[in-house]
Structure 1
Amino acid sequence: MSGQIAVSMRFRVPAESLRDLITSYYMIEVQGPPAATVEDLLQPEWGNLRIRLRSEWQALDDEGRPVEGLNAALFGPTSHARPVIARPGKLLGIGFTPLGWTILIRTPADALADAIAEPQGELGESIAALREDLLQETAEEAMFARLDAFFEERAHGGNRKEAQIRAVHAALLDPELATVEGLVGRTGLSQSVLGRVCMRSFGFTPKLLLQRQRFLRTLAVLANGDPRPIGQLLDGAYVDHSHFNRDFKRFMGLSPSEYLAMPRLILKAAMGSRDRALGAALQGLHELATGTS
Structure 2
Amino acid sequence: MKTEQVRGGTHTSNIPASVFAMPPGMRMRYDAPAPALAECVTAYAVYAHDGSIPAVNWFMPAPPMISVVVDAGPLCVSIRNTRFGPLSRASLYGPTSRAFCAETNGGIMVGVGVSAIGWARLARRMASDLHNRVVPLASVFGAGLSNRLTDGLDALHDDADIKPLLDDLLAPLLARPHPDEPLIRRFSVLMLQDGVVESGDAATRLDIPTHALRRLSQRHFGMTPKLLLRRARFLRSFLALMRTGEPADYSVIDGSYFDVPHFLRDAETFLGTTPRRFLQNANRFLHASIVARAAVLGAATHALHDVASPGRAPTSPAAKRTNSPSSPAPTPAP
TM-score for both structures, normalised by structure 1: 0.91
Question: Which residue number in structure 2 is paired with residue 104 of structure 1?
Answer: 122
Question: How many angstroms apart in 1 are the aligned matches of 2:284 and 2:50?
Answer: 12
Question: Which residue number in structure 2 is paired with residue 136 of structure 1?
Answer: 155
Question: How many angstroms apart in 1 are the aligned matches of 2:140 and 2:42?
Answer: 25
Question: Which residue number in structure 2 is paired with residue 78 of structure 1?
Answer: 96
Match of 1:159 among 178, 183, 186: 178
Question: Which residue number in structure 1 is paired with residue 283 of structure 2?
Answer: 264
Q: Cα gap change, 1:202/1:208 in structure 2, threshold over 3 Å: closer, same or farther?
A: same
After superposition, the C-alpha distances for 1:144-163 in whole angstroms (9 at most, x for unaligned) are: 11110111110122212111
Q: Cα gap change, 1:236/1:67 in structure 2, threshold over 3 Å: closer, same or farther?
A: same
Secondary structure class of the residue paired with 1:193: helix
Secondary structure class of the residue paired with 1:239: coil
Question: Which amino acid in structure 2 is aligned with residue 50 of structure 1?
Answer: S
Question: How many angstroms apart in 1 are the aligned matches of 2:241 and 2:155?
Answer: 41
State yes or no: 1:67 paired with 2:64: no
Q: Cα gap change, 1:8/1:42 in structure 2, threshold over 3 Å: closer, same or farther?
A: same
Question: How many angstroms apart in 2 are the aligned matches of 1:157 and 1:280?
Answer: 26
Q: Is the Cα–Cα contact under 8 Å of residues 118 and 124 in structure 1 kept in the other structure?
A: no
Question: Which residue number in structure 2 is paired with residue 12 of structure 1?
Answer: 31
The 5 Å alignment of 1:123-202 reads 123-202=142-221
Report the alpha carbon displacement of residue 78 of structure 1 after superposing the two structures with TM.
Answer: 0.5
Q: Is the Cα–Cα contact under 8 Å of residues 90 and 136 in structure 2 kept in the other structure?
A: yes
State yes or no: 1:90 paired with 2:108: yes
Question: How many angstroms apart in 2 are the aligned matches of 1:169 and 1:122?
Answer: 24
CA RMSD of aligned residues (A): 2.0
The 5 Å alignment of 1:222-233 reads 222-227=241-246, 229-233=248-252
Q: Cα gap change, 1:109/1:121 in structure 2, threshold over 3 Å: closer, same or farther?
A: closer
Secondary structure class of the residue paired with 2:142: helix
TM-score for both structures, normalised by structure 2: 0.80
Question: Which amino acid in structure 2 is aligned with residue 96 of structure 1?
Answer: V
Question: How many angstroms apart in 1 are the aligned matches of 2:84 and 2:217?
Answer: 28
Question: How many angstroms apart in 2 are the aligned matches of 1:92 and 1:203?
Answer: 22
Secondary structure class of the residue paired with 2:108: strand
Question: Which residue number in structure 2 is paired with residue 52 of structure 1?
Answer: 69
Q: Is the Cα–Cα contact under 8 Å of residues 280 and 286 in structure 1 kept in the other structure?
A: yes
Match of 2:54 among 37, 61, 78: 37
Q: Is the Cα–Cα contact under 8 Å of residues 247 and 276 in structure 2 kept in the other structure?
A: no
Question: How many angstroms apart in 1 are the aligned matches of 2:282 and 2:193?
Answer: 31
Question: How many angstroms apart in 2 are the aligned matches of 1:263 and 1:179?
Answer: 30
Q: Cα gap change, 1:161/1:143 in structure 2, threshold over 3 Å: closer, same or farther?
A: same
Secondary structure class of the residue paired with 1:93: strand
Question: Which amino acid in structure 2 is aligned with residue 90 of structure 1?
Answer: I
Secondary structure class of the residue paired with 2:267: helix
Question: Which residue number in structure 2 is paired with residue 214 of structure 1?
Answer: 233
Q: Is the Cα–Cα contact under 8 Å of residues 128 and 221 in structure 2 kept in the other structure?
A: yes
Question: Which amino acid in structure 2 is aligned with residue 166 of structure 1?
Answer: R
State yes or no: 1:244 paired with 2:263: yes
Q: How many residues align?
A: 286
After superposition, the C-alpha distances for 1:266-286 in whole angstroms (9 at most, x for unaligned) are: 211210110111111111110
Secondary structure class of the residue paired with 2:48: strand
Q: Cα gap change, 1:141/1:106 in structure 2, threshold over 3 Å: closer, same or farther?
A: farther
Question: How many angstroms apart in 2 are the aligned matches of 1:172 and 1:32?
Answer: 38
After superposition, the C-alpha distances for 1:205-242 in whole angstroms (9 at most, x for unaligned) are: 11111111111101111233434852212111211111
Question: How many angstroms apart in 2 are the aligned matches of 1:142 and 1:67?
Answer: 28
Structure 2 unpaired stretches of 5+: 1-22, 311-334
Question: How many angstroms apart in 2 are the aligned matches of 1:252 and 1:61?
Answer: 10
Percent of counterpart pairs with the same letter? 26
Report the alpha carbon displacement of residue 124 of structure 1 after superposing the two structures with TM.
Answer: 2.8
